[in-house]
Amino acid sequence: MTAQQQKQAPADIATDALPAHGFACRPLSSALGAEVTGIDLARLADGELDAIKTLFLQHHLLVLREQHLTDADIQRFAEAFGPVEVNQVKGSDGAVLQAVHAIANVDSQGRPAAAPLLKANYNWHSDKSYLPQPSLMTMLYGLEVPPVGGDTQFANMEQAYADLPAETKARIAGLVVVQSFEYMLDKLGQRAIIDAAMIPPPVEHPLVRTHPETGRKSLFVGMYSSRIVGMAQAEAEQLVADLLAHATQEKYTFTQQWRTHDFVVWDNRSLIHRAIPNYDMGAHRRILRRCVVRGGVPQ
């Protein structure tokens, strides 16, 4: 972690206004993220859920250490934020993923596999951005992690937008980006992970979206961004690439170095993320449990 990332992130929601609780919270970087310790998500005390929601909006991402959760615990926590998202993608066993499901580098026999099933995970994206109502929150629970590596990286699209030059903000104001699951499948050669009849149609979303709870603006581009309405394809692809290159500079990112029993929740309305294949996938298993909360229509 750089010296800049170790600085405390400026708070736009006062933590001293939170009710007194037994857990502790400390920022993880200047870009985003906070570590929460001393809380049990399976047995939340009165007021703790509201405190977590406040911290979630402030820091965009929370790492809750030493959790011991069942799938039912995870789903119950998710439902406190909104409806749980259904899936279209199939797992290694060929079945469509359940609401709480595994993100893992293992084959159907549980052996570590060098080739990941979901290649999209290793590219910058916001979950479910190809749907009319993209996700609000994603959560991952670390059941089994490699001894070194297997990290997940996040980028703060709000701060990246805020730091754009005025002329760039003027250029992208009002632009509409087409987000397409099929575009991702074709780009990565991943048609096998979904039945053709279940591929959702492309959707149009604002390239600059406004957070419905905080009013802050952020960039809304990633690997599902197939084109920009009214713009030549080459120009659109270059603009998306330039915005992503800007937004994923080190000063806007945080890297989650997984520990067993970490429970990580993040705001897809503010962040993009990617898995990092920085470990020997053929030798070490990486098994996370995942659940996604549906959001609203981006404005």
pLDDT digits (tens, 9 = 90+) for 69-96: 999 999 999 999 999 987 655 455 555 5
| pLDDT cut 90: percent of the chain above it | 72
Instruction: Between 22 and 79, name the one with better pLDDT.
Output: 79
| Residue among 248, 246, 225 at smallest CA distance from 236 | 225
Q: Please report the DSSP string for 222-279 in residue order.
A: STTEEEETTS-HHHHHHHHHHHHHHHTSGGGEEEE---TT-EEEEETTTEEEEE---S
Q: Would you state the pLDDT for residue 18?
A: 47
Q: Would you state the pLDDT for residue 192?
A: 67
Q: Would you state the pLDDT for residue 53?
A: 96
Structure tokens at 100: 């709480």
Instruction: Between 189 and 223, name the one with better pLDDT.
Output: 223
What's the DSSP call for residue 45?
P
pLDDT classification of 15: cutoffs 50, 70, 90 = very low
pLDDT digits (tens, 9 = 90+) for 210-230: 999 999 999 999 999 999 999
Q: How far apart are CA 291 and CA 99, in angstroms?
A: 6
Query: Judging by DSSP bridges, how do beta strands 34-37 and 61-64 pair with one another?
Result: parallel
Convert 39-68 to b/e letters by CB count within 10 Å (16 or more is b). bbbeebeeebeebbebbbbbbbbbbbbebe
pLDDT digits (tens, 9 = 90+) for 235-292: 999 999 999 999 999 999 999 999 999 999 999 999 999 999 899 988 999 999 999 9
Contact indicator for 98, 289 with CB cutoff of 8 Å: no
**Domains, the chain:** 3-294 (3.60.130.10)
Mean pLDDT in residue range 110-138 = 88
Instruction: With a cut of 60, say whether residue 8 has pLDDT above it.
Output: no
Q: How far apart are the first and last CA of the chain?
A: 34
pLDDT classification of 117: cutoffs 50, 70, 90 = low
Q: Would you state the pLDDT for residue 199?
A: 85
Instruction: With a cut of 50, say whether residue 32 has pLDDT above it.
Output: yes
Mean pLDDT in residue range 165-194 = 89
Q: Would you state the pLDDT for residue 197?
A: 77
